[in-house]
Amino acid sequence: MTTRFQTRAFLICFIPFALLLGGSFWMIQRFVQSTVREGLRASLRENQAAIASLHAKGDLQNSRFLKVAGENAALKAGIELLRSNPDSPAARRTLEDQLRELGEHMGFDFLLVSAPNGAPLAGVIRQTPAGQLEPLDLALLRNAAPGLLMLNGHNFQLASVTIDQDNGNLGSLSVGEYFTLTELTTPAVLLHNGTVIASNVPNVATASLTEALATCRIRSECDLRLQKATWISAPMQSWSDGYVLRSLENVDAATAPIQTHLHNLFLSLALICVPIVFLSSIVSARSIVEPIAAMVTHLRKAARTGVLAEFEGRPSPILEIRELAEIHNHAAASVRAAGENLQTAYLEFVGSLASALDARDGYTSGHSWRVSHLSCAIASAMELPPTDIERIRIGALLHDIGKIGIADHVLQKPGRLTEEEWNLIKQHPVIGRRILEGVHGFAPYLGAVELHHENWDGSGYPRGQAATETPIDARIIHVVDAYDAMTTDRSYRRAMTHDRAVSILKENAGRQFDAHVVATLLSLPPELLTQQSRSSELSFDVQEPAMAAAE
């Protein structure tokens, strides 16, 4: 009955408040999104007007350049020469040289002279933005009308002027410059007949942009979904032959900072209001609910911290509640004792796994314990937190547990391994992860077990991770594992000296090993590295190139 009353009082106080808080947050969020969206639309229109103004000024300047170019006497003479001798290569080269000189002087990337009927006579083009003007293959030219021209995979913005001589028309001159989107400060795309052919939107494929913009009309603003985000697009400029330039704005990215501030604001409000509602619930049923609420609070703390402590609240005058507190305290003591026993059994089990692995072969005896001891020494020297050091200690004990899944004839083979056998050996980190990942308590050590053969330069296995992509546990164990392998006896050679092993670690620091971990290892007292007796170790524990050097 007490529980039912407490639940009813809590629901009456909390649910209306939660609905009010959630509804207010939703309404404000929608209002902010709408406001930001309208602001982005206004910004797009302002950008569109500014770009139109710049284009107008550019067109005015280009018209002056074109007028000067159209009055060039040498150019007119070259056109008359080519029209008089249309089949003369020399006349064509003369006109191309004049166009080249004119283009280099005025900075154009494309120049074309056409006859009065529009037929192209001669032209030059800059094949790359930094290249020289070269003769244009007229066979590739389909249309040179003012606007945009796509040629050889490049876009040119064209303008043209007529060339007159003695009140007669000699033809027309079309000039152009490379058209790119890199100079635009806002995301934009260039479409041709509805297909995106150029874009400055980072990390988005043109096919995805084409699909997203398919629903947008040519000369109107529109909303679209792109990479799971809401965008706004507006036309900036259009040309003949189906070319359209559109700008884009990411609405979600623009609203993200405001959304973060709103979340923080409502979280603060919730932290202030929830205790008030909670106190109101307590007052409404103080005489009966208060002792039970104290017990519930204690249990909630235990659920949050994972520690079931004894209840130390004020004794209740109600007999049943006192008995409940006593039973709880007995249960807490039993759980604490069981946890201590479980922790002891867990550590013993880890040690047994390491010993079982080392016992499979005389050459690996003590390897896991030595790697664990030296890894902890390095972690302490690097001033890692105690919880990290303990995680590294257990991970080092378990790092080779996957070798349990390798056949004895491969694992205990004396001498060199074949390529096929080596590929089997390289599976032991993955096998180790599969062995441990089914047990929740081993989750913190999966990285050390699976990734302790990853190299700093990304050449390791099984994932090919590089640099700090590999966790510090695995990077430390990798260095210690290699050192222990090189300084222990093997079936086909004696152990290396400490100095030789150190020289190999230095040589491969920054490539195979984390240089900081190697430096920390070398900074340890020498007696710490040499005080333990070392047995033999299988050849695959040190990877190339350190393996080759060790032999």
The DSSP annotation for 331-348 comes to: HHHHHHHHHHHHHHHHHH
Enumerate the H helices of 107-170 as residue ranges. Answer: none
Enumerate the H helices of 285-407 as residue ranges. Answer: 286-305, 319-359, 367-381, 386-398
Calpha distance 367→357 (Å, rounded): 9
> Where among 145, 178, 211 does a domain terminate?
178
**223 domain residue, yes or no:** no
Calpha distance 470→463 (Å, rounded): 10
Q: Which amino acid is at 2?
A: T
Pairing, β 120-126 against β 110-114: antiparallel
Q: What pLDDT does residue 57 have?
A: 47
Rg of the chain in Å (alpha carbons)? 39
Calpha distance 105→98 (Å, rounded): 11
Q: What pLDDT does residue 477 have?
A: 95
CATH number for the domain including 383?
Answer: 1.10.3210.10
End-to-end CA distance of the chain: 78
- CA–CA distances in Å: residue 213 to residues 155, 218, 287: 20, 10, 66
Q: What pLDDT does residue 363 have?
A: 57
Q: What pLDDT does residue 280 have?
A: 63
CATH number for the domain including 89?
Answer: 3.30.450.20
CB 167 within 8 A of CB 155: no
> Where among 122, 152, 178 does a domain terminate?
178
CB 329 within 8 A of CB 446: no
Q: Which amino acid is at 52?
A: A
For the CA atoms of 523, 524, 525, 528, what is the dihedral angle to 10 degrees?
-150
Q: What pLDDT does residue 467 have?
A: 93
Q: What pLDDT does residue 58 have?
A: 47
Q: What pLDDT does residue 454 have?
A: 94
Containing structural domain, residue 507: 360-550
**Long-range CB contacts (within 8 A, 24+) of 383-386:** 384/472
Q: What pLDDT does residue 232 have?
A: 84
Q: What pLDDT does residue 531 have?
A: 57
**138 domain residue, yes or no:** yes
Calpha distance 318→113 (Å, rounded): 106
**451 domain residue, yes or no:** yes
Q: What pLDDT does residue 550 have?
A: 34
Calpha distance 17→24 (Å, rounded): 10
Q: Residue 505: how many CB atoms within 10 A of its CB?
A: 23
- CA–CA distances in Å: residue 281 to residues 11, 12, 149, 317: 9, 9, 74, 21
Token couple for 441: 């308590």
Please state whether the predicted TM-score (pTM) of the whole model is above 0.85: no
Q: What pLDDT does residue 547 have?
A: 42
Token couple for 499: 């100095």
Calpha distance 124→136 (Å, rounded): 5
CB crowding 369-382: b at 16 or more within 10 Å, else e: bbbbbbbbbbbeeb
Domain count, the chain: 2
DSSP state string for 55-102: HHHHHHHHHHHHHHHHT-HHHHHHHHHHHHSTT-HHHHHHHHHHHHHH
What residue has token string 């086909």? 492
Calpha distance 473→454 (Å, rounded): 11
Exposed/middle/buried for residue 482 (C-beta within 10 Å: 0-12, 13-18, 19+): buried
Token couple for 519: 């430096």
CB 109 within 8 A of CB 91: no
**537 domain residue, yes or no:** yes
Among the listed residues 497, 501, 488, 483, the one whose alpha carbon sits nearest the alpha carbon of residue 533: 488
Q: For the chain, how many helices (H) and strands (E)?
A: 18, 11
Q: What pLDDT does residue 503 have?
A: 92
Across the chain, which has 551 residues, the per-10-residue mean pLDDT values are 58 68 72 70 65 52 66 82 85 87 85 86 86 86 74 81 81 84 80 86 88 82 85 81 83 77 74 69 58 67 65 62 69 70 66 67 72 93 93 90 81 78 89 83 88 93 93 94 84 77 92 94 83 40 38 32
Q: What pLDDT does residue 473 have?
A: 94
> Where among 178, 201, 229 does a domain terminate?
178
Calpha distance 224→309 (Å, rounded): 55
Calpha distance 148→146 (Å, rounded): 7
Calpha distance 386→388 (Å, rounded): 5
- CA–CA distances in Å: residue 95 to residues 76, 138, 143: 9, 14, 20
What residue has token string 């040499």? 530
**353 domain residue, yes or no:** no
Phi, psi of 134 (to 5 degrees): -125, 160
**344 domain residue, yes or no:** no
Q: What pLDDT does residue 7 have?
A: 67
**522 domain residue, yes or no:** yes
**340 domain residue, yes or no:** no
Enumerate the H helices of 399-471 as residue ranges. Answer: 408-411, 419-425, 428-436, 446-451
CB 141 within 8 A of CB 147: no
